[in-house]
């Protein structure tokens, strides 16, 4: 079964959006989701339960990516 990987990047407010990627992010969260819609909605709970939530919107911002993954086999 194919699926998607939701990647949530936490980048410092000083990092331009176009430069926010895994190598420049201060934190990276990944979770497998069933659809592209899940990439847009599946990460809120992860961030809400993490310690990084306090800086979001003040000193840092979120950027999400959606990657298609193929089941091995």
Instruction: Using alpha carbons, select from 55, 65, 66 the residue that is nearest to residue 12.
Output: 55
In a domain, residue 32? The reply is: yes
What is the pTM for the complete model shown?
Answer: 0.81
Provide the strand spans (E) within the chain. Answer: 3-12, 27-33, 60-69
Domains of the chain: total = 1
In a domain, residue 15? The reply is: yes
In a domain, residue 73? The reply is: no
Of 32-36, 48-52, 64-68, 69-73, which range is least confident?
69-73
- State the residue range of the domain holding 46: 3-68
What's the average model confidence in pLDDT over 44-52? 79
Q: What are 18-38's pLDDT values in tens digits?
A: 999 999 999 998 988 888 898
What tokens appear for 23 in the block?
A: 């190598």
- Where does 1-73 have alpha helices with state H? 36-41, 44-48
In a domain, residue 59? The reply is: yes
């Amino acid at each position: 079964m194919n699926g998607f990987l939701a990647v949530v990047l936490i980048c410092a407010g000083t990092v331009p959006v176009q430069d926010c990627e895994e190598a420049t992010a201060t934190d990276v969260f990944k979770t497998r989701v069933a659809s592209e819609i899940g990439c847009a909605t599946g990460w809120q709970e992860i961030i809400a339960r993490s310690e990084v939530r306090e800086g979001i919107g003040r000193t840092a911002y979120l950027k999400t990516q959606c990657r298609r993954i193929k089941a091995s086999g």
